[in-house]
Structure 1
Amino acid sequence: MFRNLLDRLFTEDPAPRPLATDDAEVAVAALLVRVARADDHYHASERMRIDQVLGQLHGLGPIDAAERRAVAEMIEAEAPDTVRFTRLIKSRVSLEDRMGIIGAMWEISLADDRRTAQEEAAIRLVAGLLGVTDRESAIQRQRVAGGR
């Protein structure tokens, strides 16, 4: 299953079409996993928070969210680089939803109650690649930190 998704995500398409709902959800989940793994410490609290975020964003139950995360972990491990990955998402996901993705990334980054330079750098990279400004990212971070 995930090999087909990778093929669809990384095949150049002269007329990009929106990702199928399931594919888009897994692609976003893979970005969340990438941020959580950025500091080489992929904690249970981060995995649990990814499951919660996926459940909230997509109306998934705990088992479905964990399954979606497991697929996203495989996708993330296979994805060659963040640039190609985000380029496709940027072309197929609205700016408002991309800002929501950055907010979700901050939720994952802060899930283990530690801010690491590696995770912050990963979010900054992804935000820039998704067309989300530093200011918009900071607003998302503050929103997430304020709700903790």
Structure 2
Amino acid sequence: MLERVKQFFSDLQGSEIQQTQIDMKLAATALLVEVARADDNRSHVEQETIFKLLKKHFELSDAETQELLTAANQQSDESVCLYQFTSTIKKNASREQRIKLIQGLWVVAYADGEVDPEEEATIRKIADLLYVSHSDYIQAKLKAAS
């Protein structure tokens, strides 16, 4: 009996970790989508860039990547602010992971060859909400630009 209780809590903890990873993927994807939408110009190049970033970073199949993108677009449509996404990441991601996300946001912004002021403002706001220092923000921007 005691062994079953231990197993139950072990399974519960494992599923919480898995759910946190899913939530972080969805939150990160939603932030990438928010940057692409910031300039009111949803370019195909930016959408393709997001797809490639997700597939490579999260090691997903095409179908899994599309499913994640669809869910993130829906979440983004229903969202009224960035906080719900940034709070999930801030609580669960390391400093390096948060900086890497900012770099990914810059990659999306640069994808169409032009960084709109609205895209830059959105990335700055996200960086602030994630407590990414200005120095790390600039370094991420420079890495993405090269």
Tell me which interval the TM-score lies in, with the shorter structure as reference length: 0.7 to 0.9
**Aligned partner of 1:140: which letter?**
A
SS at match of 2:53: helix
RMSD: 1.5
Q: CA 1:84 to 1:24, structure 2 compared with 1: closer, same or farther past 3 Å?
A: closer
Instruction: Extract unaligned runs of 5+ from structure 1.
Output: 1-16
Larger radius of gyration: 2
Query: Are 2:79 and 1:79 equivalent residues in the alignment?
Result: yes
Runs (4+) off by over 4 Å: none
**Aligned partner of 2:76: which letter?**
E
- Say whether the 8 Å CA contact 1:99–1:137 is kept in structure 2: yes
- Say whether the 8 Å CA contact 2:24–2:88 is kept in structure 1: no
Counterpart of 1:10 in structure 2 is none
**Aligned partner of 2:128: which letter?**
G
Q: Distance in 1 between matches of 2:52 and 2:136?
A: 23
Q: CA deviation at 1:66?
A: 2.0
Q: CA deviation at 1:35?
A: 0.7
Query: Are 2:95 and 1:91 equivalent residues in the alignment?
Result: no
Q: CA deviation at 1:133?
A: 1.4
- 1:43-54 matches, within 5 Å, as 43-54=43-54
- Say whether the 8 Å CA contact 2:35–2:122 is kept in structure 1: yes
Deviates more, 1:72-81 or 1:86-95: 86-95
Counterpart of 2:62 in structure 1 is 62
Equivalences, count: 130
- Give the TM-score taking structure 2 as reference length: 0.83
Higher helix share: 2
Counterpart of 2:22 in structure 1 is 22
CA offset digits 1:92-113 (Å, max 9, x no partner): 2211111111011001111111
Q: Indicate the percent of aligned positions where both proteins have the same amino acid.
A: 31
**Aligned partner of 2:74: which letter?**
M
